[in-house]
């Protein structure tokens, strides 16, 4: 198992957002997290990259075990160097061009020399089909293009796993397609991904594993075909059915 | 009468301009540079909410924004010798202008830092950068672009405020003008003249400001 999280809890004030989440992702696996708004999906993903520090929980990554609420700064940083995160609202560096967005982490965080980084950056931009936009600043790109640059930024670092936090939720409907197809290509290339999404049909077709969450707990998790076709829990069935009404 | 005025104007112009170039401008450039360093460091400490240091900085800003610049000049130049700190006029002026401007600019830079979306820092973390790397490469450049117009205003204000240094015997433009007035009894002409030179300095800075804004603004969203 590449990544395993056990009994992750997180509360904000008196609100228990995560009530003991267990989750695992294997190398090469595409796992999706589904669930209604307020289920804690985004908080979970942010906890898994320590943008929020969980109140408790264990993380096992590449065989190494960590207590999630007691990790040294350097441990978090080393872990982040092996993972990547794609945000709902892109969060491209506003003062950097598309190519600089991709190379920044390579040059500054990983100390890869500039020429090498640029080569990797251009390869990554090519993979998301934006080579010709290398010198554009974020404000010169559409939402869909910005998100594809963000995916290139994630890819360039050769991460073990990429976390996607609702990657199409901030996009106009006609722009979601280009982003989803980029993610689908990564899946076909064997990239390990953990994706929080509201695009149920996309989730069904892209993933091997589905995790259904509600009210801060994992209601059901298993292979995508199992969860979609013969869910064990009534709540899962009801949630998935609500997307098939039309 | 008018030809006497013209002659006096032409004769006195270089006499006033020279201390402008040798005192007013160096005083402004040195003090503003130091104030910018103070502002960035104190703003970053406040932004990061460093305990104790933040309280000390708040106190410093409270003192320097809450008292008149002229009083600060008097305390440092005429007051401090009483406790054994003797300063020449020029360094005394540099110290006061730097600390005073630092206090104001600190608030400008802090507000600009806080205007940068939180996601920029998070994105920095997620590509493996440290807090300081993200601050230096991503957050601070964006904040300084936001702060630039306000800081330019402060710079222009400071050029004019350096005239207060005349009160602690710095022989800058105003003091030089006062001396010529004492000899010639032509206050109207000479004070208008020194005002004109300040206006020229400010106008040049205003042009530099809009040029700088254009250069720095390459990545900024165009106004709709």
Domains and CATH numbers, chain A: 1-82+163-246 (3.40.50.300), 92-159 (no CATH)
B194 Cβ contact partners less than 8 Å away, ≥ 6 residues apart: B16, B173, B174, B177
How many other β-carbons are positioned within 10 Å of the β-carbon of residue B199? 11
- Burial zone of A11 (CB within 10 Å; 0-12 exposed, 13-18 middle, 19+ buried): middle
Mean pLDDT of chain B: 94
DSSP tally for chain B: helices H, then strands E: 10, 0
pLDDT at position B99 = 98
Strand partners, A194: A31, A163
Chain A partners of B131 at a C-beta cutoff of 8 Å? Answer: none
Q: How distant is the Cα of B136 from the closest Cα of chain A, in angstroms?
A: 11
Give the sign of the dihedral formed by CA B159, CA B160, CA B161, CA B165: positive
Q: How distant is the Cα of B219 from the closest Cα of chain A, in angstroms?
A: 6
Q: How far is residue B160's CA from residue B209's CA, in Å, rounded to a whole number?
A: 16
Can you tell me the mean pLDDT for B37-57?
97
Q: What is the pLDDT of residues A35-79, one digit of tens each?
A: 999 999 999 999 999 999 999 999 999 999 999 999 999 999 999
pLDDT at position A141 = 95
Q: Where are the alpha helices (DSSP H) in A55-158?
A: 73-81, 98-104, 114-127, 143-156
Q: What is the pLDDT of residues A101-136, one digit of tens each?
A: 999 999 999 999 999 999 999 999 999 999 999 999
Residue A153 and residue B127: Cβ atoms within 8 Å? Answer: yes
Q: When comparing pLDDT for A173 and B76, which is higher? A: B76
For residue B119, give the nearest of A80, A91, A95 by CB distance: A91
- The yes-or-no verdict on residue B222 having pLDDT over 70 is no
Q: How far is residue B144's CA from residue A18's CA, in Å, rounded to a whole number?
A: 39
Chain B partners of A96 at a C-beta cutoff of 8 Å? Answer: 138, 219
Residue A89 and residue B119: Cβ atoms within 8 Å? Answer: yes
pLDDT band at residue A242 using 50, 70 and 90 as cut-offs: confident
Q: How distant is the Cα of B161 from the closest Cα of chain A, in angstroms?
A: 34
pLDDT band at residue B111 using 50, 70 and 90 as cut-offs: very high
Characterise A93 by phi-psi region: left (phi > 0), alpha (psi -120 to 50), beta (else): beta
Q: What is the pLDDT of residues A79-110, one digit of tens each?
A: 999 999 999 999 999 999 999 999 999 999 99
Q: What is the pTM of this model?
A: 0.90
Structure tokens at A190: 């064997």
- The yes-or-no verdict on residue B167 having pLDDT over 60 is yes
pLDDT at position B218 = 65
The C-alpha angle B189, B191, B193, rounded to 5 degrees, equals 65
CATH numbers and ranges of domains, chain B: 2-216 (1.10.3720.10)
Q: How distant is the Cα of A173 from the closest Cα of chain B, in angstroms?
A: 23
DSSP tally for chain A: helices H, then strands E: 9, 10
- The yes-or-no verdict on residue A28 having pLDDT over 90 is yes
Q: What is the pLDDT of residues A196-215, one digit of tens each?
A: 999 999 999 999 999 999 99
Q: When comparing pLDDT for A213 and A244, which is higher? A: A213
For residue A91, give the nearest of B120, B133, B219 by CB distance: B120
Q: How far is residue A168's CA from residue A62's CA, in Å, rounded to a whole number?
A: 29
User: Which residue out of A71, A90, A91, A96 would a mutagenesis test of the B interface target, given it has the greatest number of B Cβ atoms within 10 Å?
Assistant: A91
How many other β-carbons are positioned within 10 Å of the β-carbon of residue B1? 5
Q: How distant is the Cα of A61 from the closest Cα of chain B, in angstroms?
A: 16
Can you tell me the mean pLDDT for B122-139?
97
Q: How distant is the Cα of A168 from the closest Cα of chain B, in angstroms?
A: 17
Strand partners, A12: A15
Helix (H, G, I), strand (E, B) or coil at A40: coil
Give the sign of the dihedral formed by CA B146, CA B147, CA B148, CA B150: positive
pLDDT band at residue B223 using 50, 70 and 90 as cut-offs: very low
Residue A95 and residue B133: Cβ atoms within 8 Å? Answer: no
In 3D, which of B114, B140, B95 has the Cα closest to residue B46?
B114
Q: Least CA distance to A93: which residue of chain B?
A: B120
In degrees and rounded to multiples of 5, residue A6 shows phi and psi of -130, 130
Residue A139 and residue B126: Cβ atoms within 8 Å? Answer: no
Residue B221 and residue A96: Cβ atoms within 8 Å? Answer: no
User: Which residue out of B112, B113, B127, B222 would a mutagenesis test of the A interface target, given it has the greatest number of A Cβ atoms within 10 Å?
Assistant: B127
For residue B125, give the nearest of A80, A89, A153 by CB distance: A80
Q: How far is residue B42's CA from residue B56's CA, in Å, rounded to a whole number?
A: 10
Q: Least CA distance to A158: which residue of chain B?
A: B127
Structure tokens at B27: 């005083």
Structure tokens at A64: 């190494």
In 3D, which of A47, A5, A61, A60 has the Cα closest to residue A211?
A5
A21 Cβ contact partners less than 8 Å away, ≥ 6 residues apart: A5, A7, A8, A9, A40, A44, A57, A213, A216, A217, A218
């Amino acid at each position: 198992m590449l990544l395993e999280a056990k009994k992750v809890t997180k509360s904000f004030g008196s609100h228990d957002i995560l009530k003991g989440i267990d989750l695992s992702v294997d190398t090469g696996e595409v796992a999706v997290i589904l669930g209604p708004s307020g289920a804690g999906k985004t908080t979970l993903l942010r906890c898994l990259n320590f943008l929020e520090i969980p109140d408790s929980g264990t993380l096992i990554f590449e065989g190494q075990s960590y207590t999630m609420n007691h990790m040294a700064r350097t441990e978090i940083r080393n872990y982040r160097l092996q993972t990547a995160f794609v945000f709902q609202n892109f969060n491209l560096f506003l003062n950097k061009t598309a190519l600089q967005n991709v190379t920044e982490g390579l040059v500054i965080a990983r100390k890869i020399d500039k020429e090498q980084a640029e080569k990797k950056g251009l390869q990554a931009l090519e993979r998301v089909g934006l080579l010709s936009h290398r010198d554009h600043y974020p404000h010169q790109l559409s939402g869909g293009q910005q998100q594809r640059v963000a995916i290139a930024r994630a890819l360039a670092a050769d991460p073990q796993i990429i976390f996607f936090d609702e990657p199409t939720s901030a996009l106009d409907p006609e722009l979601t397609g280009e982003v989803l197809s980029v993610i689908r290509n990564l899946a076909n290339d064997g990239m390990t991904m953990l994706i929080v999404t509201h695009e149920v049909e996309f989730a069904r077709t892209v993933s091997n594993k589905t995790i259904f969450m509600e009210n801060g707990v994992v209601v059901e998790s298993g292979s995508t075909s199992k969860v979609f076709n013969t869910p064990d829990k009534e709540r899962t069935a009801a949630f998935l059915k609500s997307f098939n009404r039309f | 009468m008018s030809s006497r005025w013209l002659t006096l104007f032409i004769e006195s112009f270089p006499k006033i301009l020279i201390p402008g170039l040798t005192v007013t401008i160096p005083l402004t450039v040195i003090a503003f540079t130091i104030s910018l360093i103070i502002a960035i460091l104190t703003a970053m400490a406040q932004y990061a909410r460093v305990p104790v240091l933040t309280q000390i900085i708040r106190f410093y800003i409270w003192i320097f924004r809450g008292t008149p610049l002229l009083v600060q000049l008097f305390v440092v130049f005429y007051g401090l010798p009483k406790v054994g700190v003797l300063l020449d006029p020029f360094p005394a002026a540099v110290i006061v202008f730097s600390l005073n401007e630092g206090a104001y600019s600190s608030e400008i830079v802090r507000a600009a830092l806080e205007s940068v979306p939180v996601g920029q820092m998070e994105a920095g973390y997620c590509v493996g950068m440290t807090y300081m790397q993200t601050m230096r490469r991503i957050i601070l450049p964006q904040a300084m672009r936001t702060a630039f117009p306000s800081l330019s205003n402060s710079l222009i204000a400071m050029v004019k405020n350096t005239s207060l240094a005349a009160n602690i015997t710095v022989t800058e433009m105003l003091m030089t003008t006062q001396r010529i007035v004492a000899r010639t009894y032509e206050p109207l002409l000479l004070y208008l003249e020194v005002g004109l030179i300040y206006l020229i300095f400010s106008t040049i800075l205003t042009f530099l400001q809009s040029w700088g804004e254009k250069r720095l603004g390459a990545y900024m969203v165009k106004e709709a």
